[in-house]
Amino acid sequence: MDDADSHTTTDLTGLECQLGIAFKDRSLLEQALRHSSFINESPDLGQSNERLEFLGDAVLGLVVAERLFRDAPDANEGEMTRARAFLVREETLASLARNLGLGDYLRLGKGEQGSGGCHKPKNLARVLEAVIGAIFVDRGLESSREFILRFFGKEFAEVKEPLEIDYKTRLQEFVQSHQQISPVYELLSEEGLSHDRTFRVAVKVAGRVLGVGSGKSKKVAETEAARVALMSFKAEM
């Protein structure tokens, strides 16, 4: 039997266990696993996963945006947009699809199968989105949200860096809009052993100290100083 046909409608129970979802209508899961190349060669076997992929992409975007909105109340639109892009990028989705073994169930046309289509990041990312779409149609938004948050747990933990609020840029924009000059950062002190230093930095505008911050790197100390300065501005307004 061809690899593309090695998984039939009777052996998707293992995949459902991997997903943690028992489908009411298993034909939706079957459709989610059909690549367009498979349907191009066998048009009588139903629809490809493209429609479910379209829907799953939207559901994924909604759930991720909602999570970022709730968990990062100080992040602005641009910062949340970067974090969302980090979470739903092809590399992330393909990695999660591999962990779920979706490539083993993906039904491909002979040409796509022969070129290693079950390992291609693009195909893996899209089949995961299609599965999310199938879960949404079959079980609704709440089950879709639970699935996404469960399997994206590690990725949400790793989004910290892209979601870091860019206090330095915010401070620069604020100061330039009011005074047409830029903040200046000054290293006040550097203490500790070479492998465990603590930096203390002041941010100034026209010679006036607006904030002081410390951290294990100059960048962290500057960011903290900018945050303190912004908080000070807000308190004065």
pLDDT in tens, 54-91: 999 999 999 999 999 998 887 888 888 888 888 898 98
Which residue is associated with the tokens 């469960």? 150
Q: Radius of gyration of the chain from Cα atoms?
A: 25
Checking if the pLDDT of 1 tops 60, the result is no
Class of domain 167-236: alpha beta
The span from the CA of 56 to the CA of 62, in Å, is: 10
Confidence of residue 234 (pLDDT cuts 50, 70, 90): low
Which residues make Cβ contacts (< 8 Å) with residue 139, sequence separation at least 6?
21, 23, 24
Catalytic residues: 57, 129
Average pLDDT for the chain: 87
Structural tokens at position 156: 């949400």
Pairwise pLDDT comparison (57 vs 159), residue with the higher score: 57
Closest CA to 184 of 217, 148, 211, 157: 211
Please state the rounded mean pLDDT for residues 148-165: 76
Q: Give yes or no for a contact between 22 and 94, defined as CB atoms under 8 angstroms apart.
A: no
In the chain, which segments carry CATH 3.30.160.20? 167-236
Phi–psi pair at 20, nearest 5 degrees: 75, 25
Task: Summarize pLDDT for 213-224 with one digit per residue, the tens.
Answer: 998 889 889 988
Structure confidence at residue 132 (pLDDT): 98
Q: Which CATH superfamily is domain 3-163 in?
A: Ribonuclease III domain (1.10.1520.10)
The span from the CA of 30 to the CA of 42, in Å, is: 14
Using a cut of 0.95, tell me whether the model's pTM lies above it: no
In the chain, which segments carry CATH 1.10.1520.10? 3-163
